[in-house]
Amino acid sequence: MTTDRPQGKSRLSLALVGEGNDLGTLVASLCARSGRLRIKIQTVIDITGSHNNAELTRELGIGQFSHELETLAANPPGLVILSSDIPGGVDSVKKYLPSDVPVLGPEQKDLVQGMIGLVEENRALSVDSRRLKETRRQLNLFVITAPLAIYIKDTESKYLLMNNHALHLLGFHENQVVGQKDTEIYPPGQGDWLLRLEQEAMKTGATLCATGTLQAPGQELHAQVTIFPITENRRTVGVYGLMEDTTELYESEQKLHDIDEQLNETQKYLGEILKNSRDMIFLTDPQGNILSFNNGAELALGYTPDEVIGQPSNLLCENPEIFNTLFNKTLKEGHASRYEARFLAKDGHCVVSNISLTLITDPDNKPLELVCLCRDITQRLQLKNDLIRSERLAAVGQMASGVAHEINNPLAVIDTIAGLVEESLAEEGHLLDPATQDILYKGMQRLHHQVARCTKITHSLLGFVRKSQTGMAPINLDDLLEECIELLGVEIKRSGATVNQQYDPEVPIFRSDPMLLQQVFVNLLKNALDATEEVPERKNQVTVVTHWDNERIIISVEDNGIGIQADEQNRIFDLFHTTKPAGKGTGLGLSIVHDILIRLGGNIRVASVPGKWSRFLVELPVVPPEDLQPDPMSLGL
């Protein structure tokens, strides 16, 4: 029987018919081996409608389950296998199929299982003459229709048979193969390896296996072929060939080989980069002993690799305990970092670095090495220190003119009242009546009020300008925010904004650095006022809200100003990045705010809708971190 099939590597479709456990066992067995057999179970028909087999079919992802044989007519498969006797037998199945679709009855079940074992175990096929004669008819039928690529050759290496699956795999027609040798169907030299394998198997009587390339029509096929000698009366009369398409495996191995070569090149390239990087990079074992020490670390710290390899890595740090904490965190969590870590160079000077530690594990997740990447930021901190001073001086200078104007008003009142008192005392002092006494009394009250106002403004200004050391103290958040708002009184009046305050009475007294927090909130409030000035047609609003969630103190500073573009929000805390017009912003304020809050154990986030509003959320702990970093102003860099 000849069945024309399209060229390619599509799988042979099967329909399995039967009932009960026999059918379920056959379905599970063939489905588990469908990849190697190059088959696809298209339909399962259980004439009893077994729920178990229906559920098995669904779990295995088989396309169709039915209990009626008529289902075969709608979508005929390439082969039908009966797992057990059914009413009407094979004939009852064939009447729903095209004439060229073979049907294997339950009497071939052992042969199906035998061929499955043949592919999986690749064992020698040794059939004595008596068994070969008894099973030749059934075996030939199965060979023709089996979902395996099988061929038979005689002792002259001519094809006696090539089954449908092999013809389909190689892209041949039966009349192109039967009676021909490999030299007549493959290009010169292509089938030599196959011929040698077959001759060796016939000579030795052994089962042999080899891989090679076959130039089939329209494709180059990489195949693994297993040869089984056919013996009859202790005489070799031919060979069976079992062929498996390994093209995908071969291509995968080639790709893997190419990837390995690329990986080796990449590793060499990466090794050179790490070795010659200007950043400090050193590796340690899980116990913290240094394994490697790159050129950047050698230049920064002055040690040669021979001096430090094998030594505890924490000895490089000014404070070994801080490094130990980071090291243990990395072993536990896989990564740890610190904004500022202080190393000691060989000559004793301090090298301030950003440090990041990453754990490398084996496939069983056991620690192998720790990579320590450190970037020297000593000069950056010195520059930042200068920039912080410049920012503070700029802020003081900008507020000084407003403060002077604010002071002039009470001084003018003082002067007027003083003149009135002097005039009244000079002209009518000896004739004081109740009205005059009232004027003098009220004048003196206003005088005291304005003097107190001037004193308060002066004290606020001095408290902001004065360079003091970082210090922790109990803080009443409401009072601190009120002081910041009062300090910006002139700015608020000039912008025409209304500052709304919504303070949570549950916010507790907490410990932090009042001077640094004042700098944070003055900066955020000033930015909010600047943002509202960009939308003059809108009634300017700045809202300050505090909240206590039993773990953190949250302060929101929101404005209804120009907003921040989405692509700017991720960079707004970067040094020198500003969204303000040229000449109005330095890009320092929010960077400094961010660094201050991180140093105090807090955090800051931003949300904004461009053209509508912006909101900065400040989070502060009630208890400051134990390893509080010093103010950059006190680093002495």
187, part of any domain: yes
Statement to judge: residues 372 and 386 lie in one domain: no
268, part of any domain: no
Between 406 and 106, whose confidence is greater?
106
Is 389 within 8 Å of 519 (Cβ atoms)? no
The tokens describing 252, both together, are: 């995968």
Note the pLDDT of residue 525: 92
Q: Does the pLDDT of residue 556 top 90, yes or no?
A: yes
Between 391 and 114, whose confidence is greater?
114
The tokens describing 100, both together, are: 């060229």
The tokens describing 351, both together, are: 């090298």
Cα(174)–Cα(617) distance, rounded to whole angstroms?
79
**pLDDT tens digits for range 252-304:** 878 888 887 887 777 676 667 666 777 888 889 999 899 888 888 888 888 99
Cα(102)–Cα(147) distance, rounded to whole angstroms?
12
Note the pLDDT of residue 406: 61
CATH code of the domain covering residue 430: 1.10.287
Specify the pTM.
0.35
Statement to judge: residues 85 and 225 lie in one domain: no
The domain of 444 spans 377-467
Cα(351)–Cα(318) distance, rounded to whole angstroms?
9
Cα(262)–Cα(260) distance, rounded to whole angstroms?
5
Query: Collapsing DSSP states into helix, strand and coil, what is residue 266?
Result: helix
Note the pLDDT of residue 385: 63
> Mean pLDDT over all residues of the chain?
78
Statement to judge: residues 72 and 172 lie in one domain: no
Statement to judge: residues 427 and 316 lie in one domain: no
Q: Across the chain, which distance is largest between two alpha carbons, in Å?
A: 156
The secondary structure of 287-300, three-state, reads CCEEEEECHHHHHH
Angle at 611 between CA 605 and CA 612, to 5 degrees: 65
Note the pLDDT of residue 237: 86
Q: Does the pLDDT of residue 427 top 70, yes or no?
A: no
169, part of any domain: yes
Q: What burial class does residue 22 get, using C-beta atoms within 10 Å of its C-beta: 0-12 exposed, 13-18 middle, 19+ buried?
A: middle
CATH code of the domain covering residue 105: 3.40.50.720
Cα(149)–Cα(163) distance, rounded to whole angstroms?
7
Cα(105)–Cα(21) distance, rounded to whole angstroms?
16
The tokens describing 16, both together, are: 């399995």
579, part of any domain: yes
CATH code of the domain covering residue 330: 3.30.450.20
Number of domains in the chain: 5
Angle at 447 between CA 442 and CA 450, to 5 degrees: 125
264, part of any domain: no
256, part of any domain: no
Statement to judge: residues 495 and 633 lie in one domain: yes
| Chain centre to alpha carbon of residue 331 | 20
Pairing of strands 290-293, 12-18: unpaired
What confidence category does residue 335 fall into, taking pLDDT thresholds of 50, 70 and 90? confident
Note the pLDDT of residue 587: 37
Between 585 and 89, whose confidence is greater?
89
Sheet containing strand 64-66, strands side by side: 64-66, 39-46, 12-18, 79-82, 103-104
- The type of residue at 176 is Q
Which range, of 173-187, 334-348, 446-460, averages the lowest pLDDT?
A: 446-460
Note the pLDDT of residue 287: 92
Contacts of 587 (CB under 8 A, 6+ apart): 574, 575, 576, 577, 578
Statement to judge: residues 596 and 499 lie in one domain: yes
Angle at 222 between CA 218 and CA 224, to 5 degrees: 135
Mean pLDDT, to the nearest integer, of 504-522? 90
Statement to judge: residues 486 and 542 lie in one domain: yes
Which range, of 287-301, 434-448, 546-560, averages the lowest pLDDT?
A: 434-448
Is 340 within 8 Å of 312 (Cβ atoms)? no
> Could you write out the DSSP letters of every residue in 98-161?
-TTS-EE-GGGHHHHHHHHHHHHH-------HHHHHHHHHHHHHHHHH-SSEEEEEETTS-EEE
Which of 55, 172, 42 has its CA nearest to residue 97? Answer: 42
Statement to judge: residues 71 and 137 lie in one domain: no
203, part of any domain: yes
Statement to judge: residues 446 and 365 lie in one domain: no
Q: Does the pLDDT of residue 124 top 80, yes or no?
A: no
Note the pLDDT of residue 36: 73
462, part of any domain: yes
Name residue, tokens 């040690």: 303
Note the pLDDT of residue 554: 95
Which range is most confident: 92-101, 188-197, 271-280, 498-507?
498-507
DSSP E strands: which ranges in 509-549? 510-512, 541-548
Statement to judge: residues 517 and 636 lie in one domain: yes
| Chain centre to alpha carbon of residue 370 | 20
Helices (runs of H) and strands (runs of E) counted in the chain: 22, 22
Among the candidates 60, 95, 118, a domain finishes at 118
Q: For the packed helices 378-428 and 514-533, what is the interaxial angle rounded to 10 degrees?
A: 80
The tokens describing 565, both together, are: 């573009």
Mean pLDDT, to the nearest integer, of 500-507? 93
Among the candidates 342, 376, 410, a domain finishes at 376
Statement to judge: residues 21 and 153 lie in one domain: no
Cα(56)–Cα(590) distance, rounded to whole angstroms?
63
Among the candidates 424, 439, 467, a domain finishes at 467
> Which CA distances in Å does 254 have to 23, 172, 242, 259?
40, 27, 24, 9
Statement to judge: residues 294 and 371 lie in one domain: yes
* Percent of the chain whose predicted confidence (pLDDT) is above 70: 72
List phi, psi (to 5°) of 273. Answer: -65, -50
Is 153 within 8 Å of 159 (Cβ atoms)? yes
Q: Does the pLDDT of residue 527 top 90, yes or no?
A: no
> Could you write out the DSSP letters of every residue in 162-200?
E-HHHHHHHT--HHHHTT--HHHHS-TTTTHHHHHHHHH
Q: Does the pLDDT of residue 503 top 90, yes or no?
A: yes
Angle at 613 between CA 593 and CA 571, to 5 degrees: 40
Q: Is the dihedral of CA 50, 51, 54, 56 positive or negative?
A: negative
